[in-house]
A and B are shown apart, each in its own frame.
Chain A
Amino acid sequence: MTSSMRRDSSPWRADTALIWTLRLLAAAAAGIVLLILVFLLIESIPALRTIGLVRFFSDASWYPLSDRFNMAPMMAASLLVTVGAIALAIPLGFGSALFCRYYAPRWIAGAYRRMIEVLAGIPSVVFGFWGLVVLVPLVTHSLIAGILILALMILPTVALIADASLARVPEELIHGSAALGLTRWGMIRRVILPAARCGLMTSVILAVARAIGETMAVLMVCGNVVQMPKGLLDPVRTLTANIALEMAYATDTHRSALFVSGLLLMVIVGLLIAMAEWISKGRIYA
């Protein structure tokens, strides 16, 4: 700390003013996420106090207007949509990254990567709309519609981070395994994938974080019926969709219960980010 103070000190008064301004701005930027947590907590407290944690799982169902607050079906829906989307996005995303690095001719790889970047920039509401007019007529408002759309949306996250971590695999490893006479697939399976496993895992974790928090697309295609999903064709409502649907008219305890679900999302995402940071030991968005 003292060494940094000394290095930042300067004979110019303007410099001292500047560093304090910068510190203030940085503190403001860093404070936002704390502020979000504080607000979620404050707004959640009334519901946690009057309803209590247990009733979020033990109530008859989710009828917030007649004091029934069972969130379990929506948690299950969020979980299933996320798991399904990840199960689809991992092979497609890793396959895309491997395709770009080791299978495609150079110009195709460049074009393909550009396409994935474009896909990453398409707003979730547009994905949701496309799902609504194209997928829903085929598979109805259902869990599977949500899974398909969400898989498509997180595919770029998986593919781009996986691609970047494949790029960081040392050349010597690849040359060495080629010299040992490994086939291309043998090399990928035995050498490259193990070498890049930290980056690949990070890509999956960040994709999970993105999937569980996604709102608009699942809201538009999942049907939004609060029920324990029994099959892929059942309509479901996720936690995020529930917030978006009910926030408009929720008051008092009901509104506070929505903040509890927001807090729950934050906690899950926070744990995932901590895990990603722990795996990649430092900067996760490199």
Chain B
Amino acid sequence: MPDGVSRQGQHHRIREMLAVTCIWATAIVVSLTFGWILLDLLRHGLAHLSWAYLVESPSDAGRSGGIAPIIASTFLIVAVCMSIAVPIGIGTALLLAEYSVARSRFGRFVRRSLDALAAVPSIVFGLFGSTLFCIYLGMGFSILAGGLTLACMVLPIFIRTAEEGFRSVPDEYRRGAAALGISRSATLFKIIMPSAMPALVAGFVLGIGRALAETAALIFTSGYVDRMPESLFDSGRAMSVHIYDLAMNVPGGGKSAYRTALVLVAILLLINGSASWLMHRWVRHGAT
């Protein structure tokens, strides 16, 4: 039946064309929306962005002035967060990657808990942090409380990256060290950790990116105060909280919110870009 075959062929061709059109249309729609967001941020954000904006204090509820204290608070929150998350994270990753506990009941429990932790909504972290750190531990609204809350949040992502880093260190290194009679701890600290350094740095950078992007967990832990923080026990406003506050609670704060959003997105692009560059470099390095 040549007639039927050709009709079926035509049918296939139409369906094929339709699929190609739909898929390209999807990609174009997504790209255009993305471009829209980015251009919008650039157009409105760059308009009044200047060096002064980064080094001045905000005035008139943030409508004018700059964001210097907000950048300082953000930096302190992230510093607290990473200085807690890194030691715990490296320890956990070492245990999961280098010891045979990984398949034991304890190892499975740790992994499952971390998977669950990674999925906890940020507002729940906010509830948790404001109860444990601000009330029970008496820290009040403070940079310390905010940083500690964020530390809980970034742990899973840091541990995952670090663990992969440790796993990709070739086994010969460990056997060589064992053959030389080097202790396990010396092997880990002097050989395994330096070899996995790019992955550790990538995890570190990804963690900072996650912490910088967070808002909901910070509103009730580090608070709204936009003065220059004097100690870790002061309340300090993070950049993301500043954007939220300007957009929602300050009439006419849109212009300044655009500028802060642009600065934040630029920092995040830089951070995520360098993390992925490090990961790629390290993958290539690991392969050779």
The distance in angstroms between the C-alpha atoms of A92 and B28, with both chains bound, is 10
Chain B contacts with A in 110-140, Cβ cutoff 8 A: 110-128, 130-132
The distance in angstroms between the C-alpha atoms of A222 and B162, with both chains bound, is 38
Main secondary structure of the interface of A (DSSP, over half): helix
Known: A33-B116, A269-B120. A12 touches B185 (CB 8 A): yes
| Interface status of B237 (Cβ within 8 A of chain A) | no
| Interface status of B41 (Cβ within 8 A of chain A) | yes
The distance in angstroms between the C-alpha atoms of A24 and B110, with both chains bound, is 11
| Interface status of B281 (Cβ within 8 A of chain A) | no
Q: Are B127 and A103 in contact (CB-based, < 8 A)? A: no
The distance in angstroms between the C-alpha atoms of A19 and B87, with both chains bound, is 14
The distance in angstroms between the C-alpha atoms of A77 and B16, with both chains bound, is 39
Q: Are B22 and A277 in contact (CB-based, < 8 A)? A: no
Q: Are A4 and B37 in contact (CB-based, < 8 A)? A: no
Q: Which residues of B contact A22 (CB under 8 A)?
A: 91-92, 94-95, 99
Q: Are B124 and A213 in contact (CB-based, < 8 A)? A: yes
Which of A49-57, A62-70, A226-234, A257-265 has 4 or more CB atoms under 8 Å from chain B?
Answer: A257-265
| Interface status of A98 (Cβ within 8 A of chain B) | yes
Q: Which residues of B contact A43 (CB under 8 A)?
A: 127, 131
In angstroms, how far is the closest chain B Cβ from the Cβ of A12?
4
Give the nearest-CB partner of A242 in chain B. Answer: B123
In angstroms, how far is the closest chain B Cβ from the Cβ of A49?
18
* Candidates B99, B123, B243; contact of A126 at CB < 8 Å: B243
Q: Are B119 and A206 in contact (CB-based, < 8 A)? A: yes
Q: Are B115 and A284 in contact (CB-based, < 8 A)? A: yes
User: Beta-carbon contacts of A2-42 to B below 8 Å, as 1s and 0s?
Assistant: 01100110101011011101111111111111111001100
The tally of residues in B whose CB lies under 8 Å from a CB in A reads 90
Q: Are A99 and B155 in contact (CB-based, < 8 A)? A: no
Give the nearest-CB partner of A186 in chain B. Answer: B12
In angstroms, how far is the closest chain A Cβ from the Cβ of B78?
13
| Interface status of B254 (Cβ within 8 A of chain A) | yes
Q: Are B185 and A18 in contact (CB-based, < 8 A)? A: yes
Known: A28-B88, A130-B40. A96 touches B244 (CB 8 A): no
| Interface status of A115 (Cβ within 8 A of chain B) | yes
User: Beta-carbon contacts of A197-238 to B below 8 Å, as 1s and 0s?
Assistant: 000000000100110111110011000000000000000000
Q: Are A266 and B120 in contact (CB-based, < 8 A)? A: yes
Q: Are A123 and B264 in contact (CB-based, < 8 A)? A: yes
Q: Are B30 and A122 in contact (CB-based, < 8 A)? A: no
Q: Are B27 and A99 in contact (CB-based, < 8 A)? A: yes
Q: Are A18 and B188 in contact (CB-based, < 8 A)? A: yes
Q: Are B124 and A4 in contact (CB-based, < 8 A)? A: no
In angstroms, how far is the closest chain A Cβ from the Cβ of B55?
23
| Interface status of A191 (Cβ within 8 A of chain B) | no
Give the nearest-CB partner of B262 in chain A. Answer: A126
| Interface status of A180 (Cβ within 8 A of chain B) | no
In angstroms, how far is the closest chain B Cβ from the Cβ of A176?
19
| Interface status of B184 (Cβ within 8 A of chain A) | yes
Known: A121-B209, A121-B268, A185-B16. A8 touches B100 (CB 8 A): yes
Known: A117-B276, A244-B219, A269-B120. A4 touches B33 (CB 8 A): no
Give the nearest-CB partner of B269 in chain A. Answer: A118
Q: Are B184 and A123 in contact (CB-based, < 8 A)? A: no
Chain A contacts with B in 138-184, Cβ cutoff 8 A: 152, 155, 183-184
The distance in angstroms between the C-alpha atoms of A20 and B245, with both chains bound, is 45
Q: Are A123 and B240 in contact (CB-based, < 8 A)? A: yes
Question: Which of A112, A121, A152, A212 has the most B CB atoms < 10 Å from its CB?
Answer: A121
| Interface status of B79 (Cβ within 8 A of chain A) | no
Give the nearest-CB partner of A241 in chain B. Answer: B123
| Interface status of A107 (Cβ within 8 A of chain B) | no
In angstroms, how far is the closest chain A Cβ from the Cβ of B47?
14
Q: Are A125 and B22 in contact (CB-based, < 8 A)? A: no
Q: Which residues of A contact B12 (CB under 8 A)?
A: 183, 186
Q: Are A262 and B26 in contact (CB-based, < 8 A)? A: no
What are 8 A-B residue pairs whose CB atoms fall within 8 Å in the complex?
A: A8-B101, A26-B106, A123-B214, A155-B30, A213-B123, A219-B248, A244-B219, A259-B127
The 5 closest A-B pairs by CB, nearest first: A213-B121, A25-B91, A95-B26, A123-B213, A185-B19
- Interface on B for A, CB 8 Å cutoff? 12, 15-16, 18-20, 22-24, 26-27, 29-31, 33-34, 36-37, 40-41, 87-89, 91-92, 94-96, 99-101, 104-106, 109-128, 130-132, 152, 155, 159-160, 183-186, 188, 209, 212-216, 219-220, 240-241, 243-244, 247-248, 254, 257-258, 261, 264-265, 268-269, 272, 276
